[in-house]
């Protein structure tokens, strides 16, 4: 493993950093991440320069009856390699309105799983992070009551300085689909504050 570790050390010295180019929203808020195409374009040249090759495969483990995604990092010169592997959740086809199984739908879902986990495992085996260090929306957030109170205090101060407070509050309520912006979660309060700051700076 000596040659592989030396090459991986050289890769790390290059300071490869991913930049978030996609954003996803869910029940826990929204976050940024580096998409698969972005990942491949970012790591391709540095890997080649270091004599490394990354390979992702889907393998079926017959003994366990599970599909897995496997990411292997090779040192091209020596053939040395390390790999990481993860089992994929079973995907059963949904039925259409007539009760017929939608096999293509299941294959598409399996493809999405493969793409997601191949990206995650590739990032981990290379020791990278898909969190954009310049994106404040990805900073881990304190969710205590005190933190929420402080977040609302910052937002309220900003609202008091807005040219049209009532219209701004109406905009917030519409954006987050709430009757009262005071019902926002802490990640939404912080996001709202950052959006209003950005809008204010753009208008100045």
Domain assignments of the chain as residue spans, ordered by start? 2-125, 142-203
pLDDT of residue 193: 83
pLDDT interval class at 188 (50, 70, 90): confident
Helices (H), the chain: 2-13, 36-49, 103-125, 145-160, 165-175, 186-203
pLDDT higher at 169 or 110: 169
pTM for the whole thing? 0.58
**Looking at residues 28-44, what average pLDDT do you find?**
80
Give the CB-side neighbour count of residue 102, counting CA atoms within 13 A.
11
What's the pLDDT tens digit per position in 80-133? Answer: 999 999 888 777 767 777 777 776 676 788 788 888 889 989 999 998 876 544
Average pLDDT, the chain: 81
pLDDT value at residue 112: 84
């Amino acid at each position: 493993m000596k040659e592989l570790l030396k090459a991986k050390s050289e890769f790390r010295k290059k300071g490869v950093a991913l930049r978030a180019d996609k954003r996803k929203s869910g029940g826990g808020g929204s976050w940024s991440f580096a998409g698969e195409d972005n990942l491949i374009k970012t790591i391709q040249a540095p890997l080649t320069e270091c004599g490394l090759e990354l390979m992702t495969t889907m393998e079926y483990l017959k003994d366990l009856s599970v599909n897995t995604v496997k990411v292997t990092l090779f040192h091209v010169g020596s053939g040395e390699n390390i790999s990481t592997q993860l089992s994929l959740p079973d995907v059963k086809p949904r039925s259409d309105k007539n009760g017929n199984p939608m096999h293509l739908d299941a294959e598409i879902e399996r493809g999405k799983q493969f793409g997601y986990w191949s990206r995650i495992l590739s990032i981990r085996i290379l020791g990278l992070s898909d969190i954009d260090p310049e994106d404040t929306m990805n900073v881990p957030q304190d969710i205590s009551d005190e933190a929420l109170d402080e977040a609302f205090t910052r937002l309220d101060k900003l609202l008091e300085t807005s040219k049209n407070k009532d219209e701004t509050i109406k905009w917030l309520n519409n954006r987050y689909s709430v009757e009262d912006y005071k019902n926002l979660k802490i990640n939404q309060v912080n996001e709202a504050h950052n959006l209003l700051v950005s809008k204010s700076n753009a208008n100045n």
